[in-house]
Amino acid sequence: MPLIPAKALPHFENMIYLPMLLIVLQRDRELLEKGPFKLKGPYLKMIDTTVQQVQTELQETKFYLRRNNMKVLQKERDSMFTEYIFISGGYEDHRRYLNVRLRNRTEELLDLYFTSSGNRTAHR
């Protein structure tokens, strides 16, 4: 029997990926504001809508972890891997993620958020 429940893994991983997404979105927004785009409004709106979605999901994830007495800690990072510790019920699960995988998954999530954000705004 695993020490960390399988249903908790998506919540643990949200605590890794969602903050990364917010950083990417904030940096991209700053670059967009300073860039030579003629029509910045739609891009800024898409980013802002996505930031709101990610923040909401992050708050829900934090609430879930707090309610279930769980934590995520970033331990070590080098040029290849980042290690995280998932803590649940007094147990620790050490997991190493390839930095390339972290970046690629963050990009996948960004695409999913933009796609869902764009669909909602287009149908209003």
Residue 116 lies in a domain: yes
Residue 1 lies in a domain: no
What pLDDT is attached to residue 120? 47
- Cα–Cα distance for residue pair 84/109, rounded to 1 Å: 19
- CA dihedral sign, ordered 10, 14, 15, 16: positive
CA distances to 17, 19, 117, 119, 121 from 124, in Å: 29, 28, 11, 9, 6
Residue 96 lies in a domain: yes
Residues spanned by the domain of 17: 6-122
What pLDDT is attached to residue 2? 60
Residue 62 lies in a domain: yes
Q: What is the tally of structural domains in the chain?
A: 1
Single-letter code of the amino acid located at 10: P
Cβ atoms of residues 46 and 122 within 8 Å:
no
What pLDDT is attached to residue 48? 96
What pLDDT is attached to residue 107? 97
Cβ atoms of residues 37 and 123 within 8 Å:
no
Residue 57 lies in a domain: yes
Q: Which of 67, 64, 76, 57 is nearest to 18 (CA)?
A: 57
Question: Which tens digit of pLDDT belongs to each residue from 13-35?
Answer: 999 999 999 999 999 999 999 99
Residue 54 lies in a domain: yes
Can you read off the two tokens belonging to residue 14? 């949200």
What pLDDT is attached to residue 118? 58
Scanning the structure block, which residue is given the tokens 């998954």?
105
- Average pLDDT (66-81) is 96
Q: Regarding beta strands 91-98 and 81-88, do their DSSP bridges make them parallel or antiparallel, or are they unpaired?
A: antiparallel
Q: What is the reported pTM?
A: 0.87
